């Protein structure tokens, strides 16, 4: 039997950790497979989807393709419908020999699993800094779990954030979400989430919110995973709060993709070891 073929698409794709993570996950689950990297420009995606990607068993999608892939997949899972994006595509051959694709989003389950793994509950009062793609995934996930949230944004993007909060209130019930300027927020949080790139290497001395906000957060989740301890995480831990970066989420969302493709399941201890090894891998780059 030939090796299963997977990959990740993006543009620019850069030094992605996806091959490292998925190769290990396939080894853990006994899957004979290969995982490649495909740098595909947006204007080439439609043609490449038909000519190259459809020959794979599945692929992951990152910026800027998460929305465009939705329009190309034959079917969308409810996760893709909810989050309005696709980060995982699975291909199967139907009875007529045609390659049929289904799009999924595993970011939400990766987020929840990472919090569970760290012993961080999704409390009733969540603050999310950032309303980009990943911020919207976090917000929808929290709303689906019954949380109430405040979504923070800068002045230039606040109108879009208000519109998104209104969508959440319509979908999940009035009072689910409200939008605020980051500079105006000074409240308490059961969980404070950074869904922005603020604090990412090489600008490691930046923090998306001030110390007073961090001091009032029972727990912190930072989607940034490089460096291994971001400034917001460091500050939260110094206060005695539980705090994690996004590396475990990155591994869990990849594990969820492997579950979709191959039915694989993984132990939490294996995820922890792989996340630690990912940090070591980053240090080499």
Question: CATH number for the domain including 19?
Answer: 3.40.50.10860
Whether residues 226 and 116 share a domain: the answer is: yes
Spatial distance between the Cα atoms of 125 and 44, rounded to a whole number of angstroms = 43
Whether residues 132 and 235 share a domain: the answer is: yes
Hey, CA dihedral for 181, 182, 183, 185, is it positive or negative? positive
- pLDDT for res 175: 96
| Nearest in space to 191 (alpha carbons), one of 228, 236, 234 | 236
Q: Is 66 a catalytic residue?
A: yes
Domain CATH for 158: 3.40.50.720
Catalytic residue chosen out of the listed positions 48, 50, 66, 203: 66
Whether residues 56 and 80 share a domain: the answer is: yes
Whether residues 21 and 118 share a domain: the answer is: no
Three-state secondary-structure class, residue 272: helix
The whole-chain average pLDDT of the chain stands at: 95
The β-bridge relationship of strands 88-93 and 99-104 is antiparallel
Whether residues 93 and 28 share a domain: the answer is: yes
Do 274 and 268 meet the contact criterion of CB atoms below 8 Å apart?
Answer: no
Whether residues 127 and 223 share a domain: the answer is: yes
Spatial distance between the Cα atoms of 16 and 54, rounded to a whole number of angstroms = 21
Whether residues 63 and 184 share a domain: the answer is: no
pLDDT in tens, 191-230: 999 999 999 999 999 999 999 999 999 999 999 999 999 9
pLDDT in tens, 118-177: 999 988 999 999 998 899 999 999 999 999 999 999 999 999 999 999 999 999 999 999
- The mean pLDDT value for 18-46 works out to 97
- pLDDT for res 1: 59
User: Which of these ranges, 3-7, 94-98, 115-119, 222-226, has the smallest mean pLDDT?
Assistant: 94-98
Whether residues 265 and 234 share a domain: the answer is: no
In this predicted model, which residue has the larger pLDDT, 178 or 133?
Answer: 178
When divided into structural domains, the chain yields a total of 2
Whether residues 141 and 268 share a domain: the answer is: no
Whether residues 122 and 238 share a domain: the answer is: yes
Whether residues 114 and 241 share a domain: the answer is: yes
Q: Which domain holds residue 123?
A: 108-245
Whether residues 253 and 233 share a domain: the answer is: no
């Amino acid at each position: 039997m030939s090796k299963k073929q997977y990959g990740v698409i993006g543009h620019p794709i850069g030094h992605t950790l996806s091959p490292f993570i998925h190769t290990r996950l396939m080894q853990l689950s006994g899957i004979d497979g290969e995982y490649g990297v495909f740098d595909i420009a947006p204007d080439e995606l439609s043609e490449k989807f038909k000519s190259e990607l459809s020959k794979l068993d599945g692929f992951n999608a990152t910026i800027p393709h998460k929305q465009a892939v939705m329009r190309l997949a034959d079917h969308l899972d409810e996760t893709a419908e909810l989050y309005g994006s696709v980060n995982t595509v699975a291909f199967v051959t139907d009875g007529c020999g045609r390659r049929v694709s289904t799009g999924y989003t595993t970011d939400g389950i990766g987020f929840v699993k990472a919090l569970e793994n760290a012993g961080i509950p999704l409390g009733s009062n969540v603050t999310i800094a950032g309303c980009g793609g990943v911020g919207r995934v976090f917000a929808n996930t929290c709303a689906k779990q019954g949380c109430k949230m405040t979504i923070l944004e800068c002045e230039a993007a606040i109108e879009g954030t208000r519109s998104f909060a209104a969508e959440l209130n319509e979908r999940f019930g009035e009072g689910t979400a409200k939008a605020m300027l980051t500079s105006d927020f000074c409240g308490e949080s059961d969980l404070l989430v950074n869904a922005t790139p603020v604090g990412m290497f090489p600008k490691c001395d930046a923090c998306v919110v001030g110390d007073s906000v961090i001091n009032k957060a029972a727990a912190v989740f930072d989607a940034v995973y490089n460096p291994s301890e971001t400034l917001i995480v460091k500050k939260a831990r110094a206060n005695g709060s539980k705090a994690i970066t996004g590396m475990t989420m990155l591994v869990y969302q990849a594990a969820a993709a492997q579950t979709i493709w191959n039915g694989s399941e993984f132990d939490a201890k294996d995820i922890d070891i792989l996340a630690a090894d990912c940090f070591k891998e980053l240090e080499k780059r």
